Structure formats: C-alpha cells, structure tokens
Amino acid sequence: MPEKLVAGEIIKYINITRTIMENVVENVVAMPRIGDKAPEFKAITTQGNLDFPKAYEGKWVILFSHPADFTPVCTSEFMTFAKMEPEFNALNCDLVGLSIDGLYSHIAWLRTIKEKIEYKDMKNIEVKFPLIEDITMEIAKKYGMIQPGESSTKAVRAVFFIDPKGIIRAIIYYPLSLGRNFDELKRALIAMQTADKHEIATPADWRPGDAVIVPPAGSCGVAKDRMEGDEADMKCYDWFFCTKELPLDKV
Ligand code: BEZ
C-alpha cells in the first residue's frame, strides 16, 4: 500500500482491492482432484431429474462434458459412446454427459442423431444415457469443465471417472478440437477396477490379459527374495520392478 494515505483514500484503496479479489475468486476455475469426493449437484437431464453422484452409489460412473450440441466432433463422440454403452454397463459403469445447452436443444440433437446421422458403421443410434442441461454453467464450473484459455462459454472435453464410493479416480481433459478415444476410456476403467480387485498396478500400454505390476518390495528381505527368484510367479527386472501374469479370465 502506498505510504501517507488519508482515511478516505484508505477506504477507497480497500474497496478497490476487495473488488479485484472478488473478480479473482469469481474467475478461479474450480478443479476437483483425483481422490476428492465428486462434487454433488442436482440436474435436469434428457432422462429426467438427477441427484449426482448419489444416484450412482455402488457403481462406477463416467461424467463427461462436451462443448455444444449440434457440433460434428461431439456428434461422433456421442454416437460412439452410445454404441459402447452396453460394454460400459457390463463393467458396472454408467455414463452421464453434460454441455452448456438447454434441455430442448439436447432433445432435438439426440433426435437428429437417431433419425438422420449415419457415421462409420453407426446408424439409428439412440443415446439412452442422461445428458445434463447446464445453461447456467453451474455444474461445469463446479467440475472445472470451463477452461477460459480454451473457451469461456463452452465446456472442454472433460472425463471424470467416479468410483462406487463417489470418489474421483481419474480425470482426463481434451481440447475442443480433439475427439476422445473411447477404447482408451474403457481400458482406463478396466485398469482401475483391476488395480482395486488385485491390489496391483498396470504398466504402460497395459491391456487386459497382459502382465501386471506387483507392489514394490517393502523390505530388504523381500527385495532379496525377489532378486533370488524365490517368488515363483513373478518376473523381476530389478528388486523394485516385478510383474506377474494376470490372465484375461481373472481380470
Ligand atoms: C465439435 O464438436 O465439432 C466442436 C465443438 C467446438 C469447437 C470445435 C468443434
């Protein structure tokens, strides 16, 4: 603060500072993080009212945002996700979409997709998972889906993986121009479920059926055993890096 301010100037200075701080706070992008509880919200969707994440207790859910209805990249993504929905459901995972559009725009877009769009091997595609209307951007802001450097009016392509306890387990962001790889989203879901079930980790480019990584040796004795080949089902590249087979039918 400049020196020798009189009382009136001090109040003016405080008020200006407060206004600046309020603007900063308003423009801060809330970014939920991995390990956080998924922020709660109530929403209107193309499948009725939604109480999130309560409605998905006991299930995995992928909450994803897209920039706008009636846009080509989003259309290709929605058709792909809708086609793959049974594969995600079979993994105990539901899908929920969101964009900063109103309910009637969502309905009109989904009707157009079903009635008119043939893309690759997909036609007559019905989007059965809920698409949230978020015209006020309240939910998009809560989830850090608005990233002003990319767009202040459209949500980026965010993907939140939320586990059966309502905890955010993975987050992937893509820019507006980049359509997502849905095989990768499925691979990531299976990898997290496998890590939970078997208390292992998955190496680079892991696919179901590949070897998995066992937790690093936690003592000198275990490190020695592993290096001496005493752990029969493991392959060790060094004492801290060991894998074991996990056949597809055990994943
Ligand atoms: C699209 O989905 O096609 C799209 C949306 C916003 C910006 C660029 C592309």
* pLDDT the model gives residue 5: 61
Give me the mean pLDDT over the 198-216 stretch.
Answer: 97
* pLDDT the model gives residue 48: 98
Mutate to test the pocket of ligand 1, among 64, 65, 69, 74 (most ligand atoms within 8 A of CB): 74
pLDDT > 70? residue 24? no
Q: What is the pTM of this model?
A: 0.88
Residue found under tokens 């539901």? 94
* pLDDT the model gives residue 54: 98
Residue 153: both structure tokens together: 């009016």
In this structure, are residues 181 and 80 in contact, taking their beta carbons and an 8 Å threshold?
Answer: no
Give me the mean pLDDT over the 176-189 stretch.
Answer: 98
Question: Does residue 74 have its Cβ closer than 6 Å to ligand 1?
Answer: yes
Mutate to test the pocket of ligand 1, among 113, 177, 180 (most ligand atoms within 8 A of CB): 177
Question: Does residue 175 have its Cβ closer than 6 Å to ligand 1?
Answer: no
* pLDDT the model gives residue 229: 86
Span 97-126, pLDDT tens digits = 999 999 999 999 999 999 999 999 999 999
CA angle 161, 218, 198 (to 5 degrees): 40
Residue whose CA lies nearest to ligand 1 atom number 9: 177
Give me the mean pLDDT over the 17-23 stretch.
Answer: 55
* pLDDT the model gives residue 56: 98
Question: Does residue 179 have its Cβ closer than 6 Å to ligand 1?
Answer: no
pLDDT > 90? residue 204? yes
User: DSSP E strands: which ranges in the chain?
Assistant: 41-45, 48-52, 60-65, 93-99, 131-133, 157-162, 168-174, 212-213, 234-238, 241-244
* pLDDT the model gives residue 38: 98
Give me the mean pLDDT over the 34-38 stretch.
Answer: 98
Question: Does residue 76 have its Cβ closer than 6 Å to ligand 1?
Answer: no
pLDDT > 70? residue 3? no
Query: In angstroms, what is the span from residue 61 Cα to ligand 1's centroid?
Result: 24
Question: Does residue 151 have its Cβ closer than 6 Å to ligand 1?
Answer: no
Amino acid identity of residue 115, one-letter, is E
Question: Does residue 68 have its Cβ closer than 6 Å to ligand 1?
Answer: yes
| Closest atom, ligand 1, to C-alpha of 179 | 2
Query: In angstroms, what is the span from residue 157 Cα to ligand 1's centroid?
Result: 10
Give me the mean pLDDT over the 138-142 stretch.
Answer: 97
Mutate to test the pocket of ligand 1, among 176, 178, 180 (most ligand atoms within 8 A of CB): 176
Residue whose CA lies nearest to ligand 1 atom number 7: 176
How many angstroms separate the CA atoms of 205 and 203, rounded? Answer: 6
* pLDDT the model gives residue 4: 61
* pLDDT the model gives residue 232: 81
pLDDT bin (cut points 50, 70, 90) of residue 30 is: low
Span 5-18, pLDDT tens digits = 666 676 665 666 56
Span 89-102, pLDDT tens digits = 999 999 999 999 99
* pLDDT the model gives residue 230: 82
How many angstroms separate the CA atoms of 64 and 66, rounded? Answer: 7
Residues annotated as catalytic are 74
How many angstroms separate the CA atoms of 172 and 251, rounded? Answer: 23
Query: In angstroms, what is the span from residue 150 Cα to ligand 1's centroid?
Result: 12
Q: Which of 101, 127, 103 is nearest to 114 (CA)?
A: 127
Which residue stretches of 49-180 are H helix? 72-90, 103-116, 138-142
* pLDDT the model gives residue 150: 96
Span 43-80, pLDDT tens digits = 999 999 999 999 999 999 999 999 999 999 999 999 99
How many angstroms separate the CA atoms of 69 and 107, rounded? Answer: 10
Give me the mean pLDDT over the 171-196 stretch.
Answer: 98
DSSP assigned state of 232: T
How many angstroms separate the CA atoms of 233 and 72, rounded? Answer: 49
How many angstroms separate the CA atoms of 214 and 197, rounded? Answer: 13
Of 155 and 21, the structure prediction assigns the larger pLDDT to 155
